[in-house]
Amino acid sequence: MTPLDRLHAALGDMGEVAVAVSGGVDSLTLATAAHRARPGGVTMHHATSPAVPPEATVRTRALAAAEGWPLDVFDAGEFADPAYRANPVNRCFFCKTSLYGAVAGRTARQIVSGTNMDDLGEYRPGLDAARAHAVRHPFVEAGIDKRTVRALAAELGLGALAELPAAPCLSSRIETGIRIEAPVLAMVHETEKLVAARLSPRTVRCRVRADGMVIELDPAALAAGDAADGLRAEVQRLADAAGLPAPVRFAAYRNGSAFLVPA
């Protein structure tokens, strides 16, 4: 069986499904495959919040319009949860608990996520929330990893979405233990857009740390960032306006570097 055949088989065992769509390549690919296979048996659910880049919502709405999805856009309400706002090590558990609880309150269908096999090799407290809400993961059940998801996106004709860079929620930029604040997340997003426009990096992350703000870049962009006239000052002004006056610095990108696990 091809990967798409395996995915269809996994979905076929689930009955009518509700896809939690974040706006990334995984969930958009899952939603597209599921809807094309069973147009009347699938609904899509996309949560907005200060932690979700507006581009993800625009991308989701655009694909929904192009594909004819039934799309439900709502606020999952995680910012009303003090446990989430405190930004503990398992912050994602509280975020996904809000998400899946909200979806479950809006549909009786089986909730499914875009989790793939590669995600199982990382610490993902959101998967604990998924288990608590009986969420299923069709890519995992079909044995599909991230590379195969991208291949499926290309096979389904999703164009540039197949190469969409990973884009975790904006709260992932805030160092563990620092309270999640909507204005700071907005600043993080504006900073990343500014740096992307100036340097065209492969990867950019604006990290908010206890000792200041760090712009993490891939090696080529890091060298260009140090030499870019006025860029550091522009970023510093954004940080100052958000109440983060410590000096801004550039550093090499490290996956999940704002996530701190106590020793």
In the block, tokens 């604006």 appear at: 206
**pLDDT by residue (tens digit) across 74-91?**
999 999 999 999 999 999
pLDDT for residue 225: 74
List the 71-75 sheet strands across, edge first: 71-75, 42-48, 17-20, 110-112
Query: Quick one: tokens of 121?
Result: 């090799």
Domains defined along the chain, listed by start: 3-163 (3.40.50.620), 170-252 (3.30.70)
- For residue 18, the surrounding DSSP H or E stretch is strand 17-20
- Structure tokens belonging to residue 104: 């479950």
**Residue (of 92, 12, 50) closest to 190 by Cα position:** 50
Taking 50 as the threshold, does the pLDDT of residue 263 lie above it? no
Above pLDDT 90, what percent of the chain? 83
pLDDT at 138 over 90: yes
Region for 121 from its dihedrals, namely left if φ exceeds 0, alpha if ψ lies in -120 to 50, beta otherwise: alpha
Q: What is the DSSP letter of 122?
A: S
In the chain, the amino acid numbered 182 is A
Q: Which residues of 87-118 are buried (b: 16+ CB within 10 A; e: fewer)?
A: beebbbbbbbbbbbbbbbeeeebbbbbbbbbb
What is this structure's pTM?
0.93
Contact criterion met (CB below 8 Å) for 108 and 15: no
Q: Is a pLDDT exceeding 80 seen at residue 119?
A: yes
Type and span of the H or E element at 73: strand 71-75
- Identify the DSSP state of 135: -
pLDDT at 122: 79
| pLDDT per position as a tens digit, 218-243 | 998 998 877 777 898 999 999 999 98
> 18-36 pLDDT, tens per residue?
999 999 999 999 999 999 9
The mean per-residue pLDDT over the stretch 120-130 comes to 90
